[in-house]
Amino acid sequence: MPGRKRKEKPQVAIIGAGRLGTALAVALAAKDYSIRALVARRIERARKAATLVAKAGIAVGKPATSVGKPATRSDAEVSALAANQIGLLPQADLVLISVPDDQIAAVAARLTRHNFDPNPVALHTSGALSSEVLAPLRAQGWSVGSFHPLISVPDAKARIDGAFWSVEGDARAARLARKLVRDLGGTSFSIRTAEKPLYHAAAVMTSGNVTALFDVALEMLVASGLTRKTARQVLQPLLVSTVNNLQTKDPSEALTGTFSRGDVETVQRHLAALKQHKLADALELYCRLGKRSLKLAKKQAGITRILDRC
């Protein structure tokens, strides 16, 4: 029975052994998927990723894998390949493409020249691009799709279980993507192909831009006399409490503080301080986001006119 279950899972090759690609490889290996190959720009990175995959396999009782050998090996072994060696990819049922967005089309073009067994599946992990970027593969009989995790992956050892994943593409590719997500302990949802850029922009607003906003807040506290390290320490619990509120409340209910109260005099003091310290980025963000906060709080009179003069 264990052998039969393993055969039911597709053999996987991963092109792009960066943070997400390696994290995916490790997580799938821990779920008893056979990782046939890892491709990175440099062979050293691919070998490092393959070592992490081997350790994940050993942790669930698989034999140790070999790293960096030619492609004629058993299913339990992992090929570590450089980007210019894509032509040496071993046979795989599923190819995961986890390279930067502007490289996906080129990878797809190279795969069209590779002789895979019939009916392979290709999934890319871009948030902004849809499965249409893999259309050349579809024209050759591949099933193509995309699946993107709504989670921050700061390094290759990051855990990705529990994430929500957007899935779209051909029916067969989307089914396989949803199975991968389930096996990884995540939850999938569907995005219309044409709306991938808007979806991804929302993800950037929630993660990347919040990180940038946090950096602006650090700058403000440093200007007030704290060290950057101390500023990080004192702001993090505040950020965590805000996230906790948003887990159970709509933003209009989770909003607290000056704008939720409509405190005109406090806003004026904030603006004066920002101007005094010549914190131009912070001033612009305070005014723009303050207007949005006022809409949430439904308290626009008075303060809105003040913010309009920023």
pLDDT band for 118, please (50, 70, 90 cuts): confident
Domain ranges (residues) in the chain:
2-194, 207-308
Q: What is the DSSP letter of 10?
A: P
The dihedral built from the CA positions of residue 68, 69, 73 and 79, taken in this order, carries a sign that is positive
Give me the pLDDT at residue 76, please. 54
pTM (predicted TM-score): 0.84
Burial class (CB in 10 A: 0-12, 13-18, 19+), 66: middle
Q: What confidence tens digit (pLDDT) does each residue in 133-177 have?
A: 999 999 999 999 999 999 999 888 888 999 999 999 999 999 999
- The mean of the pLDDT values for the chain is 90
Write the pLDDT tens digit of every residue in 126-135: 999 999 999 9
Confidence of residue 8 (pLDDT cuts 50, 70, 90): confident
Token digits of residue 41 = 């720009």
| CATH dotted code for 2-194 | 3.40.50.720
Confidence (pLDDT) at 70: 39
Mean pLDDT in residue range 256-282: 95
Cβ neighbours, 10 Å, residue 300: 14
Range 206-234 average pLDDT: 97
pLDDT given for residue 58 in this prediction: 54
